[in-house]
Amino acid sequence: MLDFLRRNASGPFGLALIILLVLAFSVWGIGDIFRNYDSGTLARIGDRDVDSQEFLFRYNREINRLSNELERFISNEEARESGLDIQVLSNLIIEKTLNSSGDDMKLRPSDKSLTERLKNTNSFRNAFNQFDKNVFNQILRQNGITEDLFFSMERDTIAQAQIYRALFEDLNISKEFGNLIYRFQNEDRKVEYIVINTSDENIDKYDISNEDLLIHYNNNKELYSSDAKRDFTLISLLKSELSSLIDVDESIIKEIYETNLSEYETPEKRTYYVIPFNSSEESNFALSNFEENSEIINILSDRGLTIEDVLQSSLSFEEGLNEDISRKAFSSEVNTLVGPVEGPFGPSLIYVTEIEPALKSNFLEVKEKIEQDYKSEETQNKIYELYNIIEDQRAEGFTFEEIAENNNLKITQHSSVNSTGDNFNLLNIDLSLRNSIIETIFEADIGLEMDPFEDQEGNVVFIRIDNIDEEKIFAFDKVKNEVEMDIINQLQKNELEKLTEQYLNDINNNINSLEQIADKLDIAILTRDKLNRYSFDEVFSRLAIEEIFKTSINKPFKANVGIGDSIIIGLIKEISTREQNEESIISITQQNEENLRNELLFILAEELQKELSSDFYPERLDFLFETINAQGTF
């Protein structure tokens, strides 16, 4: 089908169809929460807008993902300094470009398929394994998105994913290209090198005036300050702690199972061909021709198609290209050609080749999951019950300590916590909730009654600020020696840079060898073999590895070490490639297919934007974040 679409794609909308399928679409997840912001348009492509609500939803989700991967708190300031806000906005602009083109091609899933998808989403089910509108609304509220926005995102995702599967399910990288990638990723290098350090001797030779010290201090005051810190108290209603209080009777689990038998089935799936035609007349002619000859391969051959072009493999009803196609495919017998039916690529005939019957799970197979879901919901109900009690008691003037004692709850106190979370060690909360608490405490004040914080899992935390120590700039007299050492360190770095540059030129011009330089400095020549493009460590920084792999054999290189102020000078002694095997080639090919699709996505989306009316307002990001900070919440 990929070849077919490429052959028939023309104009901006045909181009858009190809673009739609390059993106590695995933179902929208439930991210972090945000609220109390003004809406605004950050970009407009065709008839699609990137608004602040959707941007913040995605931005917060990325911060949480990065914090979890790095296992440390990523602040909003750090995220913006690294360009995360621009990256998220760029991705949204690309997606809206695709969606705008999809609108013109009328790529829109039916309301029925969207409803079925919603009902089958586990996150929105209650303990009886049924879709629960209250649970649905709760999750949307926790994530700060409206129902309209949720359905809009889901509808876009379904349309994109359907066509994506049709185009790229069987995409293969050529063997030659796979070999090229293998050689690039599996090249090893052996180097000989010396590490040259800054000197700790003759520090007294630097004559730095008091005026120079003051200039450096005034230009870099942020380097000479204490951290802002907070003392605070928490009452935490955590599912991980309260679930142990919930007893589950097996009779309830059996009742849930028997009430929802249909929910414990693997749906019927079918494999079939979707054969597109230019008109209904052509499809009807092909249908009558098949009834006479009963050879499906002839139909494909007449259309210039292969089985790979038209194959829809092992799909449920909801996974079909559209509802009409699914209805026809699931009402047909095997090896029967039926239709025509309107498809994304014109009038289409359907030919079913295989039927996988629905499978039902017995009670023992699903008992554990039903019990977990039931216990989770009952725990959530307990949390909301306690939540209401605590809110009433706060309104009556109870202190945190009194509330904890009255309800047999644990209270935790935390002192001298800075913006990166040092001294905040609460083991029973996940990283996302921990990060959100840290953000919140630095936006609040002593004595200010704060709304309880609820995360996407339904955990609720009540926060009280007990003490605030703001960031303080140390007086010049207290840090004068530190300022002087910072200036000396910078001067030493500059001298080392000039010296090593001269050594590099000497080796290149055959004035001195690496051995002669090592003897002069009385340092050892070190050897490192099997360096690859990903061998980053405290000695070989990312930039050092890049320099090594840009350098020819027997030629010198110079680079900074991974940690510290030292500089490496070395020679490339050997270049080799690890032996290939079929398993490694397959693995590398699979890893790089998605990268290639994404590269193509950026190129094609850029071209498509030239065909659509496009307006971008990246400067509005600053205003958006200023508004959020002024309102004291994210």
Q: Which of 469, 496, 530 is a domain's end point? A: 469
User: Of 310, 331, 357, which residue sits at a domain end?
Assistant: 357
Instruction: Kindly state whether residue 256 falls inside one of the protein's structural domains.
Output: no
Q: Is residue 291 part of a domain?
A: yes
Q: Looking at residue 303, what DSSP letter applies?
A: T
Q: Angle, nearest 10°, between helix axes 250-259 and 363-395? A: 110
Please tell me whether residue 401 adopts helix, strand or coil conformation. Answer: helix
| C-beta of residue 350 within 8 angstroms of C-beta of residue 288 | no
Residue-level pLDDT at 41:
84
Same domain, 219 and 233: no
Examine residue 497 and state whether it is found in any structural domain, yes or no. yes
Q: Is there a contact between 188 and 529 (Cβ–Cβ < 8 Å)? A: yes
Domain with residue 332: its CATH number is 3.10.50.40
Give the count of domains, the chain: 4
What is the structure's pLDDT at 310?
86
In a domain, 616, yes or no: yes
Asked whether residue 334 falls in the same domain as residue 414, the answer is: no
Question: Look-up: residue for tokens 């307002």?
Answer: 617
Specify whether the CB–CB gap between 488 and 207 falls below 8 A: no
How far is the C-alpha of 276 from the C-alpha of 348, rounded, in Å? 4
Q: What is the rounded CA–CA span in Å between residue 107 and residue 162?
A: 10
pLDDT at 285: 86
Residue 254 lies in a domain: no
> What confidence score (pLDDT) does residue 585 get?
66
Among 440, 469, 498, the domain-final residue is 469
Give yes or no: residues 348 and 419 share one domain.
no
Report pTM: 0.46
CA distance 66 to 69: 5
Spatial separation of the C-alpha atoms in residues 210 and 422, rounded to whole Å? 35
Does 320 share its domain with 445? no
Please report which residue ranges of 132-208 form alpha helices under DSSP H. Answer: 133-142, 147-168, 175-185
By DSSP bridging, strand 187-196 and strand 229-237 are unpaired
CA distance 485 to 478: 13
Supply the pLDDT for residue 424. 85
Q: Which residue type, as a one-letter code, is found at position 538?
A: E
The Cα 102–Cα 539 span in angstroms is 50
Q: Is residue 339, in this structure, part of any structural domain at all? A: yes
- Residue 30 sits in the same domain as residue 106: yes
pLDDT in tens, 263-304: 777 888 999 999 888 888 888 888 888 876 667 888 888 888
Nearest-angstrom CA–CA distance, 313 and 629: 50
CATH number of the domain encompassing residue 135 = 1.10.4030
Same domain, 274 and 385: no
d(CA 106, CA 16): 12
Crossing angle for the helix pair 52-70 and 147-168, to the nearest 10 degrees: 70
Question: Does 234 share its domain with 116?
Answer: no
Say if residue 209 is exposed, middle or buried (CB neighbours under 10 Å; 0-12, 13-18, 19+).
Answer: exposed
Supply angle C-alpha 429, 435, 436, rounded to 5: 95
Are 310 and 302 contacting, i.e. CB atoms less than 8 angstroms apart?
Answer: no
Q: Is 290 domain-assigned?
A: yes
* Position 219 in a domain: yes
Q: Are 11 and 63 contained in the same domain?
A: yes
Distances (CA, A) of 441 to 75, 374, 450: 13, 34, 10
Q: Are residues 78 and 163 in the same domain?
A: yes
Identity at 518, one-letter amino acid code: A
Which residues of the chain, if any, have pLDDT below 50?
1-39, 632-634
Residues 448 and 512 in one domain: no
Q: Based on the fold, state whether residues 21 and 117 are members of the same structural domain.
A: yes
For 506, the domain range is 187-225+479-577
Answer yes or no: do 301 and 423 share one domain. Answer: no
